[in-house]
Structure 1
Amino acid sequence: MENQALTGRQASPSVAGYRWWSLTVILLATFMAILDVFVVNVSIPDIKKGLSSTDGQVEWVVTSYTIAYAVLLVTGGRLGDYWGRKRMFLWGMTGFTVASALCGMAPSAELLIAARVLQGMSAAMMIPQVLSTIQVHFTGRERGIALGIYGGVIGLASVAGQVIGGFVLEWNIAGLGWRNVFFINIPFGIISIVGSMIVLKESRSDSPFVKLDIIGLSSITVGLLLLIYPLISGRESGWPWWTYASLALAALVISLGLAYERHVKKKGRVPFIQLSLFQYPAFTRGLLVTLAYYSGNAGLYFVLVLFLQQGLGLSPLASGLTFLPLGIGFAVSSMLAQKLVKAFSEKVVYWGAILMLVSDLALIGLLYESGEHLSKTLLYLLMLLVGAGQGVIAPPLLQTILFRIRQQDSGAASGILTTMTQISQALGIAILGGVFYTLADHHGYVTAFRDALWVLLALGTAVLIGLMNLIRLHK
């Protein structure tokens, strides 16, 4: 994918005076966008009941946002380079706020899904401007600090989504229930819009505008929908012939799309996907590890909420707080990851994967032994260990994937990697959610969660094997 234009004119003295206020405003928007990937998870049982929706529909409520966000990220970056980063940020933030209101007012699951797509599209318009703005207005040590804060905000939002969602549902302001999960975005969105109008300065790329590869974008989007739709909706339909036809057609459409991308490159134009990056074995294999890692994480977060609320009968707040140990483990270990790599070599990521696997196995064993009487203390401890394992892996994995990429290709590579993480999350929710709902219908929630963990264990094993292969390439 094309470089998301991390270049631009040098900030003027007046811009420099506002840069930290600018960072505060754009990071508020970042927090909201990432929060909305996860805040809905804890609300799923309430949404399903309130809208009388099916299992497949509530899965789409989560994945529709992620897919729209993923496929338009790079396009949002390019538009910001050409039309102005402040302008695109304001459009995206305004769209996101309006879409949040539409989500909260949705009278049906179908309209909620449509509003979530609009939310994801809006997030894809504003989030690329955040990194671009940091790159333009910060240099040297301050840029490193700003990027570190940006990474911390993303990590915090990922965990806070579950907890904040639990608190919002517990308070039940004005008796609006799950709708408050979306309405809470509105005041923060307005603050971010007004703040952006005051403190953000416009910037654009000096490079000429590059024509968007609409056919490449469309083929990848359609291929993903053809892949994910039967995975989510096939179970409720009894897996008719069209589900298998859709999966086969997905492979065909994506293959044709990639062939078209090669044609675009030969013609001297800029393709949606920069296929030359796949000549680097570490990049290609690293994306496969990313697929297993992030799909497993997102799938776990989704089915764990269902198990806690529908299987153990916990309140939304109690289930949200169960993610707190996981978030603490992730935050601490991810901050220590680089020091651990320096002290013990890159092989420390193996122990992160092993810690995840051991924790998953221990949880499976506890479920066999205790069932719905599972000790909450032991569950919290295992979530802490899972989070610690995830955190040890994430930073070194991303650095290893991008290590041999040329500087001029770093933006395009980062775009592919970021998009892959979002696509992986959608696939993880579709696959583990499908396994969970299928088993829950016939064998109950304990068995459903336990057997979904076996799928997670297989993904964790793939992560470990992939990491071993990747580290060997990196030497």
Structure 2
Amino acid sequence: MTLLDVSIVNVALPSIREGLGAGDRTIQWVVAGYSLAFGVMLVPAGRLGDARSRRQVFIAGVVLFTLASAACGAAQSSLWIALARVVQGFGGGMITPQTSGFIQNLFRGKERGRAFGLFGMSIGVSTAIGPLLGGLLVQLGGTDFGWRLVFYVNAPVGVVLVLLALKWLPSVPRGPKQSLDPVGVLLFGAAVLLVLLPVVEGEQGAPLSQRPWWLLGVAAVVFAAFYAWERWWGSRARETLVELSLAKVRSYVFGITLGTLYFAGFTSLFIIVTLYLQNGLGYSALQAGATQMPFAVGSAVAAYVAGRLVNRFGRALVVVGLVLVVAGLVGVDLLVPVLEGDVGLKLAPALLVAGLGSGMVISPNVTLALDEVDNTKAGAGGGLLQTAQRTGSAVGVAVVLAQFFDEVAATRGDYGEAISRSLHTTIGLVVVALLIGLVDLLRRRTGGDHEPEHKGERHPHAHGGAHAG
């Protein structure tokens, strides 16, 4: 539900613009407000789940997300929907880190890999079917009500989720009360906000040079202040927002680096394919969404199977997946200039290959990255991992879209050339992720740091408490 709302809304934007008389700036914030709030909330919410009750934080997040979705659907002005989207983002950011935290806490060994496999399957499917579902809902509801239906559909889902959470999610007995590190939360949130603002502030298709990149310098200063604070706070035997000792867990460092680069690359694929099909070839939103179904199906099946195989093959599984993604993207790049008629159908085999590869990357990488992280830090560790991926995704989409529209303008509307140029950047980012995966695979195989290949248990050095900060 939270991931769908990233991509599903894109299809409804023209209807929202018309229905509310919204300008470009407001429309930008309908998308950006959600992404900003989501990204800023991930790590603090993960830490809150670790320190208090993961079940309660999950349920609170679902309630907030559901109410905000209903508010979006009922919006009577552009300001109303922009503010409701920010609240919706906060709710989504509360939910997501609890998911990986629960899996980390409740499962071990092969069962953990299978659970993360299902988690990865939901990520792949949600990301890919968003445009299809959005197009279908807009078509069913019509121009006036269709965009509201995109938000209202979350209401019954949210109610069912709360009931299931109350029934199924375990209530962990309260341990010693832990510090929530409020200063760390504020500093980290401000730093993430400063990183994301230049990415989401620019108008779609505007040159990258017009974005306020100077904010990244301010973000670096705030991150430095955050690091200094965390060291000082940890030295006082207090629990910190981010476990700084995670930097010593090599599997986590490789996992978060690979995941960030991969999300920076593959996330933009759906947007540029949709733009190519809709703007370049005149496809409807529903047709463009349906074209991406092979990727969704491949990703779902591969993620489920990979979850069962990650214990046996470890990082090698991710490397093979990245090779398949590169092969699929190269296939799309080679096919686009020569295809005529039924382009969406003819792209299906290449998108299927890329989808199969993606399913072998996302969930196994999460499993391997968190495998040696102390279970008591699972929420914060998973939140940091997903924050990095979300940031990578936002930066990647901004860069690739800028390239896409630059090429459209330079070639006077040649969308084939535009998607080809954009794909080169996407492929490049995935190739770098592949190189990171190969280095990690070699490190594990040679045992250079005496870390075992994935066995489903934590490494002793990952058990440090708050004093490790």
SS of residue matched to 2:337: helix
The aligned runs of 1:34-433 (5 Å cut-off) are 34-47=3-16, 50=19, 58=27, 60-80=29-49, 84=53, 87-107=56-76, 109-128=78-97, 152-172=121-141, 175-193=144-162, 199=167, 203-234=171-202, 243-337=212-306, 346-370=315-339, 375-406=343-374, 409-433=377-401
Deviation at 1:100, TM superposition (A): 0.7
Deviation at 1:222, TM superposition (A): 2.2
Which residue identity lines up with residue 198 of structure 2 in the other structure? Answer: P
Question: Could you report, residue by residue, the CA deviation over 1:206-237 in whole angstroms, capped at 9, with x for unpaired residues?
Answer: 22232222232222322233223223434677
- Aligned pair count reads 442
Match of 1:448 among 415, 418, 426: 418
Deviation at 1:246, TM superposition (A): 1.7
Q: Is the CA contact (8 Å cut-off) linking 1:73 and 1:124 kept in structure 2? A: yes
Partner residue in 1 for 2:454: none
SS of residue matched to 1:39: helix
Deviation at 1:273, TM superposition (A): 1.4
Deviation at 1:49, TM superposition (A): 5.4
Partner residue in 2 for 1:29: none
Deviation at 1:121, TM superposition (A): 1.0
Q: Is the CA contact (8 Å cut-off) linking 2:110 and 2:311 kept in structure 1? A: no
Which residue identity lines up with residue 352 of structure 2 in the other structure? Answer: L
Deviation at 1:53, TM superposition (A): 5.6
Q: 1:447 to 1:177 in 2, by over 3 A?
A: farther
Q: Is the CA contact (8 Å cut-off) linking 1:82 and 1:204 kept in structure 2? A: no
Q: 1:191 to 1:414 in 2, by over 3 A?
A: closer
Q: Is the CA contact (8 Å cut-off) linking 1:231 and 1:434 kept in structure 2? A: no
Deviation at 1:340, TM superposition (A): 6.1
Q: Is the CA contact (8 Å cut-off) linking 2:58 and 2:98 kept in structure 1? A: yes
Deviation at 1:361, TM superposition (A): 2.2
Which residue identity lines up with residue 101 of structure 1 in the other structure? Answer: A
Q: 1:49 to 1:373 in 2, by over 3 A?
A: farther
Deviation at 1:254, TM superposition (A): 2.1
SS of residue matched to 1:431: helix
Q: Is the CA contact (8 Å cut-off) linking 2:71 and 2:81 kept in structure 1? A: yes
- Measured in 1, the distance between the counterparts of 2:60 and 2:425 equals 40
SS of residue matched to 2:338: helix
Match of 1:463 among 427, 430, 433: 433
Deviation at 1:132, TM superposition (A): 6.3
Deviation at 1:353, TM superposition (A): 1.9
Q: Is the CA contact (8 Å cut-off) linking 1:235 and 1:438 kept in structure 2? A: no
Deviation at 1:392, TM superposition (A): 2.0
Name whichever of 317-326 and 36-45 sits farther off. 36-45
Q: 1:312 to 1:225 in 2, by over 3 A?
A: farther
- Measured in 1, the distance between the counterparts of 2:443 and 2:114 equals 30
Q: Is the CA contact (8 Å cut-off) linking 1:42 and 1:165 kept in structure 2? A: yes
Question: Could you report, residue by residue, the CA deviation over 1:440-465 in whole angstroms, capped at 9, with x for unpaired residues?
Answer: 44543433322221110111111111
Deviation at 1:83, TM superposition (A): 6.2
Partner residue in 2 for 1:4: none
Q: 1:212 to 1:419 in 2, by over 3 A?
A: same
Q: Is the CA contact (8 Å cut-off) linking 1:40 and 1:62 kept in structure 2? A: yes
Q: Is the CA contact (8 Å cut-off) linking 2:249 and 2:372 kept in structure 1? A: yes
Partner residue in 2 for 1:20: none
Question: Could you report, residue by residue, the CA deviation over 1:275-316 in whole angstroms, capped at 9, with x for unpaired residues?
Answer: 111013332232111111112222222332232222222112
SS of residue matched to 1:243: coil
Which residue identity lines up with residue 400 of structure 1 in the other structure? Answer: L
- Measured in 2, the distance between the counterparts of 1:201 and 1:409 equals 18
TM-score (norm 1): 0.79
Q: 1:83 to 1:396 in 2, by over 3 A?
A: closer
Sequence identity (%): 31
Partner residue in 2 for 1:474: 444
Q: Is the CA contact (8 Å cut-off) linking 1:166 and 1:316 kept in structure 2? A: yes
- Please, which runs of 5 or more residues in structure 1 have no aligned partner? 1-31
TM-score (norm 2): 0.80
Q: Is the CA contact (8 Å cut-off) linking 1:292 and 1:460 kept in structure 2? A: yes
Which residue identity lines up with residue 434 of structure 1 in the other structure? Answer: A
Deviation at 1:270, TM superposition (A): 1.7
Q: 1:223 to 1:54 in 2, by over 3 A?
A: farther
- Measured in 1, the distance between the counterparts of 2:308 and 2:152 equals 41
